[in-house]
Amino acid sequence: MMVRSESRSRVAAGGVGGGRKNFSREQTRKFVDVHPAAQAALPRNVDRTMFGHGGADVLTPAANGAHHAHISLSEQFLSGYGAERSAAVLNWMDELKSESEDFINCRRDNLLEDELKASLYRGAISYLVDKIFQELRWFAFEYNKVAAGTALQISSSILGEVTEVTRVNTKREAEETATFFRARLANRRHSLVIRGSGNVVEFYVVPVSQVMALSLVETEYAPVATMQVKVSNDGVSWRLRGMQFKPDTIEELCMGMFARFVETTKKELSAEEE
């Protein structure tokens, strides 16, 4: 009885009254490592070389040789190693490869030619839009000397290359996009939009309140002028399509477009006064 009481008092002093024993991090890790559940898990350093990939650069020389032998055997299996082919089959395959090679090379040449052509036209359109904008901006600067503070005062901006959504589905997700080179003039009522894409530069006069919708609004208006652009070995040439107005220079073209823009706003203001 004395021994049991003393044992219980020691357990109570060490387990309850004395508090829990604190283990260090190293002792805790040792406990986890020797736990049966941890020992039953798969090892982390699984040899994956049996699958033909992974870890080939850290193999021993002997294992590395076995690894390459396994890959070689796999390739031989996929290619039908050991199967004999008749002369007719070999000739047929040689002809098919030769024809396909010619087809691929011809297609590659066509793609390169199309890409080069698109790049040349993209550069020509960018150049023309920028040149037109520079002319129109100078006209606006001079015109604002008399129009400042009125509804005819003009601001100008060039957006450069812009990619826009041209069609959406019922979920308002983009289905089609298009890239344009853009510049514009604007007064309080209208905006003169210069839009270049492909091999054309188009001019629109649209209400200034709708200009932010870009191509989605422009499709509702007919262009006031369309410039057809052609790139050849002689350089870049252009002409206005379907118009009696036939300017000889970019400067004359810009004069006509600027006058059309100003007159449109003046007519609207005059109609409101009446």
Q: Which tens digit of pLDDT belongs to each residue from 147-164?
A: 999 999 999 998 888 877
Of 206, 196, 269, 267, the residue nearest 238 (C-alpha): 196
Distance, in Å, from the CA atom of 138 to the CA atom of 198, rounded to the nearest integer, reads 27
Residues ≥6 apart with Cβ < 8 Å to 215: 164, 166, 178, 180, 195
Task: Please report the pLDDT score of residue 224 as a whole number.
Answer: 92
Question: Is the backbone of residue 198 left (phi > 0), alpha (psi -120 to 50) or beta?
Answer: left
Task: Please report the pLDDT score of residue 44 as a whole number.
Answer: 53
The residue among 174 and 85 whose pLDDT is bigger is: 85
The residue among 34 and 199 whose pLDDT is bigger is: 199
% of the chain at pLDDT higher than 90: 36
Query: Partners of 49 in the beta sheet?
Result: none
Task: Please report the pLDDT score of residue 272 as a whole number.
Answer: 84
Most confident segment among 52-61, 79-88, 208-217, 224-233 = 224-233
The residue among 172 and 230 whose pLDDT is bigger is: 230
- Helix ranges, the chain (H): 2-11, 25-33, 36-40, 61-78, 87-147, 215-218, 250-273
Secondary structure (DSSP) of 10-61 = HHIIIIIIS-PPPPPHHHHHHHHHTSHHHHHSPPSS---GGGT-S-GGGS-H
Task: Please report the pLDDT score of residue 3 as a whole number.
Answer: 46
User: Is this structure's pTM higher than 0.85?
Assistant: no
Segment holding 199, helix H or strand E: none
Distance, in Å, from the CA atom of 273 to the CA atom of 214, rounded to the nearest integer, reads 30
Most confident segment among 8-22, 110-124, 237-251 = 237-251
pLDDT of 187 > 60? The answer is yes
Residue environment code for 137-162, b if the CB has 16+ CB neighbours within 10 A, otherwise e: bebbeebbeebeeeebebebebeeee
The arithmetic mean of pLDDT across residues 36-59, rounded, is 51
The residue among 112 and 264 whose pLDDT is bigger is: 264
Contact between 211 and 191 under an 8 Å Cβ cutoff? The reply is: yes
**pLDDT tens, position by position, 20-45:** 556 666 665 555 555 555 555 545 55
Sheet holding 235-240, edge to edge: 155-168, 174-186, 190-197, 200-207, 225-232, 235-240
The arithmetic mean of pLDDT across residues 265-271, rounded, is 92
DSSP summary character for residue 1: -
Average pLDDT, the chain: 77
Contact between 221 and 203 under an 8 Å Cβ cutoff? The reply is: no
